[in-house]
Amino acid sequence: MTYKEAITIQNRLRDKVILIPPSHFSPQLVTGTDISYSRKDNIFYAVVVVLRLSNLELIEKQVIIGQTDFPYIPGLLSFREAPFLIKAVKQLKHMPDVILVDGQGIAHPRRIGLASHLGICLDIPTIGCAKSRLTGTYKPVPEEVGSYSLLQEKDETLGLVLRTKKGVKPIFVSPGHLMDAKTAYKIVMRCLKGYRLPEPTRLAHIEANRARSLGMA
């Protein structure tokens, strides 16, 4: 796939993004995703975990190992990571009601980050929970946990810059698909356990690194 072909696909997918949660949306199971990989061989260790949203109890984990030939290009992360994460989610016995993705939702130059890409392909509500900003500007975020600043580009609101723990950098929360900023905020807040990252993506990150260190699923 060429760069131009990837951009064309993103532009087509962007038109399918829905920024409204499903009717009577009441999530019970939440999934977190992350990928760890070696820059030496491009072998990816993709992990998805499923937690009960009520108590953040881990009930399932899936690990997919594979190699990608798509190069690292800023803004096109989805084409490297999405195939592995989609495969992992489809192997789950407990299908989630919502997915928290270690990546961007619509807070992306073309409004189609990894979370939005996954949400469309899986037809599941998704939320981007990124550790760094890809686009947009924001005002300083107060230190109180739960405080946020709007992430904006011109007159468009892309998401929230959310304080999840005092004394550490905030995270960048943006709707992915079948999601809005208000609902995303409520879900992410329910997923906090005293760490910077929401528990689903924090556990996925730990498990992805563990899989890579062991070299096995």
pLDDT digits (tens, 9 = 90+) for 29-80: 999 999 998 777 778 999 999 999 999 999 999 999 998 888 888 888 899 9
* pLDDT at residue 9, as a whole number: 92
Residue 19 located in a structural domain: no
The CA distance from 52 to 62, in Å, is 16
Q: For residue 63, what is the domain's CATH number?
A: 3.30.2170.10
Residue 162: which of 152, 181, 149 has the closest Cα? 149
Helix crossing, 3-14 with 114-122: angle to 10°?
A: 70
Distance of CA 34 to the CA centre of its chain: 8
Q: Which domain holds residue 134?
A: 28-214
The CA distance from 204 to 32, in Å, is 6
Name every residue whose Cβ is closer than 8 Å to that of residue 124 and which is 6 or more positions away in sequence: 89, 95, 96, 97, 98, 99, 118, 177, 178
Residue 216 confidence class, pLDDT cut points 50, 70, 90: low
Residue 179 located in a structural domain: yes
pLDDT digits (tens, 9 = 90+) for 115-142: 999 999 999 999 999 999 999 999 999 9
* pLDDT, mean of residues 176-183: 97
Residue 8 located in a structural domain: no
pLDDT digits (tens, 9 = 90+) for 79-113: 999 999 999 999 999 999 999 999 999 999 999 99
Q: Which residue reads 């037809």 in tokens? A: 123
**What is the number of structural domains in the chain?**
1
**Residues for the chain: how many in total?**
217
Residue 2 located in a structural domain: no
- Show the beta-strand stretches assigned E in the chain: 29-37, 43-52, 58-67, 98-101, 126-130, 148-153, 156-162, 171-177
- Whether pLDDT at 217 is above 50: no
Residue 145 located in a structural domain: yes
Residue 6 located in a structural domain: no
The CA distance from 3 to 22, in Å, is 33
* pLDDT, mean of residues 169-190: 98
Residue 166 confidence class, pLDDT cut points 50, 70, 90: very high
Residue 213 confidence class, pLDDT cut points 50, 70, 90: confident
Residue 18 located in a structural domain: no
Residue 55 located in a structural domain: yes
